[in-house]
Amino acid sequence: RKEVEQDPGPFNVPEGATVAFNCTYSNSASQSFFWYRQDCRKEPKLLMSVYSSGNEDGRFTAQLNRASQYISLLIRDSKLSDSATYLCVVNSPTGRRALTFGSGTRLQVQP
Amino acid sequence: DTGVSQNPRHKITKRGQNVTFRCDPISEHNRLYWYRQTLGQGPEFLTYFQNEAQLEKSRLLSDRFSAERPKGSFSTLEIQRTEQGDSAMYLCASSLVAGDYNEQFFGPGTRLTVL
């Protein structure tokens, strides 16, 4: 089983739609969580950190459910510019400071 | 530009040759990471440094791979006797040790093609 699992998509949605991505992680001791965005042939860019209480940044809302080991990202009022791959990322504890990435969920927003 | 920089951006080499990549992190960041990404996958961890000390290496980092960060600033990743399976995007990231949230910022990557 992969440490971080995501639905690869693609998710094809019209402009203005609301879309949600989910992600599960296997290490219950994981301490920090992120969503990164990656455009085609570019580097991953940090979209938002995901806190236990959930957090919102404009049209983006992230939720964390530690009991179910589940992370979500909600995008409201989708824009064409939101088309990208969204990577769910987990930072496991105790010595290993590297990030563990899911394979990504591809979003295509259509006019 | 004060972000992470990597050179070269692209490298094409023949199988069996050695290649070296360079990463310059964000100046105040004391941690530096190397990742490798292949098509359709998320980045996979290779190794990381805190200042000049290499603190962890992945099982992906075979004996042909070596990384250095001699003065705790820039880092180099060398691949000896390249193989076609080494073809990938090599990404460098840096972070500042502060609290539990290890937010890492990535450079543009070096795309390696081994012919």
Provide the mean pLDDT of chain A. 92
Helix (H) or strand (E) holding A106: strand A105-110
Longest dimension (CA), chain A: 46
- The residue written with tokens 């639905």 in the block is A7
- Using a CB-CB distance cutoff of 8 angstroms, which residues of chain A are in contact with residue B33? 97-99
**Cα of A15 to nearest chain B Cα, Å:** 25
Q: Please report the DSSP string for B70-105 in residue order.
A: TTSS-EEEEE-S--GGG-EEEEEEEE---SS----E
Option in B41, B48, B108 nearest A98 (CB): B48
- Using a CB-CB distance cutoff of 8 angstroms, which residues of chain B are in contact with residue A42? 108
Is the sign of the CA dihedral A22, A82, A85, A42 positive or negative? Answer: negative
Task: State pLDDT tens for residues B88-108.
Answer: 999 999 998 766 677 899 999
Token couple for B42: 């998320």
Q: Identify the bridge partners of residue B59 per DSSP, sorted by sequence position.
A: none
Task: State pLDDT tens for residues A15-46.
Answer: 999 999 999 999 888 888 999 999 998 999 99
Helix (H) or strand (E) holding A14: strand A11-14
**Cα of A93 to nearest chain B Cα, Å:** 9
- Higher-scoring residue by pLDDT: A1, B67: B67
**Cα of B81 to nearest chain A Cα, Å:** 26
Token couple for B19: 């290649």
